[in-house]
Chains A and B, each alone.
Chain A
């Protein structure tokens, strides 16, 4: 069933994604001692970071005995496989990765980039957090969010439906709506 569950000694992976943006504040935050400690305390064993255009390099950690291994890469043509095998996703606030994660039914923490000029992105994350589909954090509060969260409390997101738009368009243009 769940890819992560099949792994040896039930490894639990945290996948961090910043998309095509530069979001060093998030990479720095997940690389911090505080966040790493919280993650391993919560039972996560691997941390994989997709760091995009950022210049901050996280420190790699590997080895069987480490409580939390850390690895990173810049870009990948598709992050779908990483999302599928992760047990927790920490993402920037782009709608693409938010909905890709929610539709897989994975627990998600969205971290808003406060340095973006036109920060309309926080609207979506706040709304979905209010509806309890995800957790909402800022880079400075990420460790607190990880400490307080219980993924079971999230309400599964039911995927949207493009049919209402298509029906309205067809009706407007004088075509049968079904």
Chain B
């Protein structure tokens, strides 16, 4: 009996591994492939905010992004960062006043969510293992709840667990998110750790940099000039 089950596993395991590898390759192949013409009218959009300069850059994009396409919008910021979501709320309110939509509609169109941060500035690497696991679990939960079709991020560490969850959902066939990554304007010669991870692991559909020097080093990136 034991030998039989061993034999079965000898057959099943390679098949499972092969299916998994093929699925990973399939997802990576379709990541970064533009959509010819869109079938949907609106896209559930997740926007990852970071502190200070990161948020200012992201909000400059949100200020000109078409409200009617990228809707509803879910703004995510670290639980310890109380300024970023406030600024996003101010922007959304001003966008709604420009349009004819009422305040009630804004609550449906834009939501503001906090996420656990995997590592605070200065936290030791040992304790950050535990907090990273919590952050990852929280990111998976948010991805499950929000089911983003578009993720826009520009560098804060909080975008990594969210992009990883989105990739996992793609692998499992639970949903498909297009990831757009804009490297922060502060990065002139080197990518941030988040940027490097997303670039090397091919997780971002499109990768933007704001300085020509960086585009030369990372040729798959698009040079978009300065946002600020």
Contact = CB atoms under 8 A, between A and B. Distances in A.
Interface of A: 19-20, 94-96, 99, 103, 120-121, 123-124, 126-127, 159-166, 168-175
A160 B226 contact: yes
A contact patch SS: helix
Contacts of A127: 188, 211
Contacts, number: 100
A174 B34 contact: yes
B205 to A, nearest CB: 7
A120 B178 contact: no
A95 B64 contact: no
11 contacts: A19-B52, A94-B52, A95-B57, A99-B53, A99-B56, A121-B186, A127-B188, A161-B227, A165-B224, A166-B66, A170-B69
B208 interface: yes
Contacts of A163: 64
Give me the 4 closest cross-chain CB pairs, A-B, nearest first: A95-B53, A160-B226, A174-B38, A99-B228
B193 to A, nearest CB: 9
Nearest to A161: B225
B217 interface: no
Contacts of A173: 34-35, 38, 43, 69, 150, 178
A174 B36 contact: yes
Contacts of B187: 120, 123-124
B225 to A, nearest CB: 6
B58 to A, nearest CB: 9
A169 B224 CA distance: 11
B53 A162 contact: no
Interface of B: 34-38, 43, 51-53, 56-57, 60-61, 63-66, 69, 150, 152, 178, 180, 182, 184-190, 192, 205-206, 208, 210-211, 222, 224-228
Contacts of B43: 173
A110 B185 CA distance: 16
A174 B206 contact: no
B contact patch SS: loop
Nearest to B180: A169
A168 B150 CA distance: 14
Contact of B224 (A96, A120, A164): A164
Contact of A120 (B60, B69, B190, B210): B190
Nearest to B150: A173
A113 B114 CA distance: 30
B83 to A, nearest CB: 9
Given A95-B185, A120-B186, A166-B64, 5 more contacts: A99-B53, A99-B185, A120-B192, A172-B205, A173-B34
A173 B210 CA distance: 21
A165 B228 contact: no
B186 A165 contact: no
A162 to B, nearest CB: 5
Nearest to B37: A174
A174 to B, nearest CB: 4
Contacts of B66: 166, 170, 175
Contacts of A126: 188
